Amino acid sequence: MADKIRVVIADDEAAYRSALQKTLTLMPECEVLGVAKDGQEALDLCLADPPDVLLTDINMPRMNGIELTRAVLKKEKLVQVVILTIKEDDDTVYDAFRAGALGYLLKTSTPQDVVEAIRLAERGEAKITPRIATKVLEDFRRVQEDDDTDDSELYVLSDRESEILDLVAQGLRNKEIASKLSIAEKTVKNHVSNILKALQVNSRTEAAMKAVKSRLVEKS
């Protein structure tokens, strides 16, 4: 069997935390490294033994999920963060993505959605609750339409990176991009990592938003 996806769970609600742990324990591809009841405890777990995926709530004592995301990624950049919360206001959603979160799910999501988000995150791909994704796109398009500046020259991407960025902005996953371009999925992952560095962003979602705003790809 391939290496298991190593996960840390952070949630201050005991019953929900326990349910998440039970769900993931039943998944043969997942290994729960630790379960934390607050942000500081989660940070300690992540720095002591970095997981592949951190699954975290936002409202927690001692350190909230957004502060936790920033603190973890400052030290361990390879950890992928999936937010699982009841909060869906604009400020919280954007703060989470700016902090470096890859996925964003509401707690109304099914266990299958949560497991899929973890699987995708481990591959560097995002899963976002559809209502949140729609909100992000609508707000982004509104900002883009109000901003006529063109700062595309600020970012220097290769032709291949530009091609991959366009497909990322269309919502394609790494596997789909690899198939479309007839290249290895690992090659796509490396290009996406370079794109994030060039655009100075932390997630595919933020890269897609910045790409369209900066005229690096065509708006659909």
Tell me, what CATH number does 202's domain have?
Answer: 1.10.10.10
Residues 98 and 154 in one domain: no
Q: Which domain holds residue 155?
A: 149-213
Number of domains making up the chain: 2
Q: Is residue 87 part of a domain?
A: yes
Residues 13 and 70 in one domain: yes
* Pairing state between β 5-10 and 30-36: parallel
Higher pLDDT, 205 or 100: 100
In a shared domain, residues 158 and 124: no
* Domain co-membership, 69 together with 97: yes
Quickly state the pLDDT bin for 138 (edges 50, 70, 90): low
CB-CB contact of 105 with 131 (8 Å): no
Residue 25 lies in a domain: yes
Are residues 153 and 125 part of one domain? no
Look at residue 20 and tell me if it is in a domain.
yes
Q: What are the tens digits of pLDDT across the range 142-166?
A: 555 555 444 444 567 888 988 898 8
**Helices within the chain (DSSP H only):** 14-25, 39-48, 65-75, 90-99, 111-122, 130-146, 159-169, 174-181, 185-199, 204-213
Q: Which residues contact 212 (CB under 8 A, 6 or more apart)?
A: 140, 144, 169, 218, 219
pLDDT band at 83 (very low <50, low <70, confident <90, very high): very high
Helix (H, G, I), strand (E, B) or coil at 32: strand
Residues 155 and 125 in one domain: no
Residue 220 inside a domain? The answer is: no
Does 135 fall in a domain? no
- Domain end point (choices 85, 101, 129): 129
CATH number where 85 lies: 3.40.50.2300
Q: Are residues 80 and 124 in the same domain?
A: yes
Q: Which amino acid is at 172?
A: L
Nearest CA to 130 out of 112, 110, 107, 105 is that of 105
pLDDT band at 140, cuts 50/70/90? low
Domain finish residue from 75, 101, 129:
129
What number is the average pLDDT over the span 106-113? Answer: 90
